[in-house]
Amino acid sequence: MTTHTLIPIRSLLGAALSLTAVLAQADEGGVPFWFSGQYSSLSATPATPGWSFTMMGYGYSGSASASKSLIRGNTVAAGVSSDVALLLAQPSYAPDTKWLGGQASMGVGFGYGRNRTKADISTSAAFGTQLNRSDTINGFTDLYPVVSIAWTEGLNNWMTYATGDIPVGAYDSKRLANIGIGHAAFDAGGGYTYLDAQTGREFSIVGGFTYNWENSDTKYKNGIDSHVDWAASQFLSANWQVGVAGYVYYQLTGDSGSGAKLGPFKSRIAAIGPEVGYVFKVGGLPAYANVRAYYEFWAQNRVSGYAVFATVVLPLGK
């Protein structure tokens, strides 16, 4: 196994998807900006200069206890369950010129999907108290611009990034189900990847913090969030990789604003699961595919369930 065969391919930097708002609940309705699990193996390795295109399929199914109330927009709901399916895309560009001695990359993420959310009981000013309410929405996500710089030295790779949420996706404070999160956010952090091309061993970890602006429709302001995504893998050949991936999400400060009727509502969750990667070439340039699944646990003030990611990173040349 040679260094050439393990050309590092950066994983999708999609950042916070409103889906997290329907999947992993915390913050307003248990919905953080950060899309936990978006980083996995090879996430801190420098991007190949030129244009690339990332596609990611995402599926989630989760629920919360009937004894747990969550705020969804202008609705207080209990016994919440959500099923989400998304197709996300991110065109990116990595210039030849070094930035601060590292490889820069910039892009923007967006997507389209479906969210179906149900509640055993819900109460809102618009609809009163309802039993077994169900909402379904098909629509576009918010926009997620991202910029990063990565450095490499021998087996070690470091990366720093900044991303955010431009709230233009499908959102209505009267609905239980949404695709957009209804407010702006900014997230920044960094990561590390250990990659030994001789043994095929790899380990990656990325952490960051999210600052949220107030939702003007609900007067709800999420607290400051922290998150860590990680993965450890072994290349079995020049192409195939297997491993385990996980994430931890923890809200550092409580929610605020007149819409925070349930108080600080700090949340947390963790997850772990298997991953499989495949390195291949398109037009002589390196490409990468990765499939991973997560089982969530340690949940507080949010739904908990299962998530599946299927990612393909394709080179488009100069």
Per-residue HEC secondary structure of 230-294 comes to EEEEEECCCCEEEEEEEEEEEECCCCECCCCCCCCCCCEEEEEEEEEEEEEEECCEEEEEEEEEE
- The model's pLDDT over 167-208, given as tens digits with 9 standing for 90+, comes to 999 999 999 999 999 999 999 999 999 999 999 999 999 999
Pairing, β 144-153 against β 128-140: unpaired
| pLDDT tier, 29 (very low <50, low <70, confident <90, very high otherwise) | low
Name the least confident of 19-28, 194-203, 256-265, 306-315: 19-28
The tokens 């061993």 sit on which residue? 201
- What average pLDDT score do residues 232-257 get? 96
pLDDT digits (tens, 9 = 90+) for 217-229: 999 999 999 999 9
Condensed to tens digits (0 to 9), the pLDDT of residues 73-131 reads: 899 999 999 999 999 999 999 999 999 999 999 999 999 999 999 999 999 988 999 99
Confidence band of 25 (pLDDT split at 50, 70, 90): very low
Residue 20: predicted pLDDT: 31
For 45-84, write each residue's pLDDT tens digit: 999 899 999 999 999 999 999 999 998 889 999 999 999 9
Q: What is the pLDDT of residue 32?
A: 86
Percentage above 70 pLDDT, the chain: 91
Q: Mean pLDDT over all residues of the chain?
A: 89
Residue for token pair 């991973």: 292
Evaluate if residue 23 carries a pLDDT over 80. no
Distance CA 207, CA 253 (A): 17
SS3 state of residue 70: strand
Please report the domains of the chain, with CATH numbers, ordered by start residue.
4-317 (2.40.160.40)
The 10s digit of each residue's pLDDT in 274-284 is 999 999 999 88
φ/ψ (deg, to 5) at 27: 55, -145
Strand ranges (DSSP E) for the chain? 50-63, 69-72, 75-94, 103-124, 128-140, 144-153, 156-165, 185-196, 201-212, 225-235, 240-251, 268-282, 285-300, 304-317
This prediction has a pTM of 0.90
